[in-house]
Each structure stands twice: as C-alpha cells, then as structure tokens.
Amino acid sequence: MSYQIKLCLDFYLFWSTFAAGASGFALPSLLSALNTKGSGAAANTRLVDVLAEYADENLRAVVKVLDFLEPAKKYSIDDLEKSEVSLRHSLEMSLKSLQECGDRELYVHYSPIIMDSTAKCGQLARSIKKVRHNENCLKEYYCASQLSLENIIETLSQAVRLFQDSLNKAEARAARTQRMQKQRVSAGHDSVVRGSRRRRSDRIRTFEPPN
C-alpha cells in the first residue's frame, strides 16, 4: 500500500495546481489530494483520474485491499479492548465467588471453564496490544497522530474506492474509444467498397449500347 500512497504523493506534489511545490501531505488530506483538479484544459480532471488513466498492473492491484479493508471497518479496537477488560474482570469475579462458595463439586466442574476463558482473554489482550502497536506505526507512517485506527482504515477505504471508480470510468472510456475506432475503420472500408462499386458501375455505363 505504501507504494501506491507514494505515487499519490508524487503526482500531488507536481500537479499543476495550488499544491504544486508542496513538501508533502498527511493521510487526512489524501482524499482532498485525490480530488484535486488541474487548471486550464485539465480543469475537470482530478488527480485520481490521472492515476487511473496511467496506472500499471501494480497500481491497479491496489483495489484488492478492499477485500481486507471493508471487513475491518466493522470492528472497533476500542470496543474490543473495553469488552476484553470487562469480560476478564467478570471471569475473575466469578472464579473468586466460586472459590468462596465452599462447594467443591461446583468448583471442580466450573473452575477449568473459567480459567480457560481467562486464558483466552489473555490471548485476546496480547493480540489487541499488537494491533495498538501497528496502529501507532500507521499513525507515524501516515502523519496521522490524531486519527484512530478506524479513521485510518476508513480513509484508505474511501481513497481506494475513489480510485476504483476512476479505474472503471477509464476502462469504459478506453472500450468506447476502441469501439469508435473500429466503427471508423469499418466505415472507411465500406466507403472504399462503395466507391469501387460505383467506379465499376460507371465503367459499365460507359459502354456503347449494342446496335
């Protein structure tokens, strides 16, 4: 993904707009950068349209990340973190109550279940810690210290969807141009054939009628 973002940055910095000559941009401005239009004859052309028009296979492949970004948008790391803390606390209180109830049979039956669930909460907590680390790395990489992981994912998802839409339009234009070229070639061929037929017909009509 960093390769594609770098391309966006390069195009943005050298695009013939008010932003030309800028030293860089942060992730929060990515969407506005992609929607930036040119000047003069390119006044209706956005940066994302230029990217789509000249995208190679590597850049086109960026739309595949939507398969990962879209499902990720359904979850909140903050909610997961709060749920894990709450669940672990409930399990600890349940185990304590079970120990204090004095019922050996209940303790033997339920304590392994509670302990296993507590261990899984610990695994979840470690996973959340890794996600938090990755979140901080993304914030630093994208110069987005004020954005949450959810905001970063949402911004990237919108940017890729914007690019995907421009790709579809570019492909539609290319297909339309190809059809028009074929029609012109076909029309030119038909004109040549009709002209040839007219010339043959003219030659036939120049013959003197038989006596």
Domain ranges of the chain: 24-182
pLDDT for position 188: 65
Taking only the tens place, the pLDDT of each residue in 62-74 is: 899 899 888 888 8
Asked if the 24-182 domain carries CATH number 3.40.50.620, the reply is no
Token pair recorded at residue 14:
């050298």
**pLDDT tens by residue, 139-193:** 988 888 889 999 999 999 999 999 999 999 988 888 888 888 888 877 765 555 4
> CA torsion, points 129, 130, 136, 141, in degrees to nearest 10?
180
Percent of the chain, pLDDT > 90?
A: 35
pTM score > 0.85 for this model? no
- Tokens of residue 78, six digits: 């903050």
Residues present in the chain in total? 211
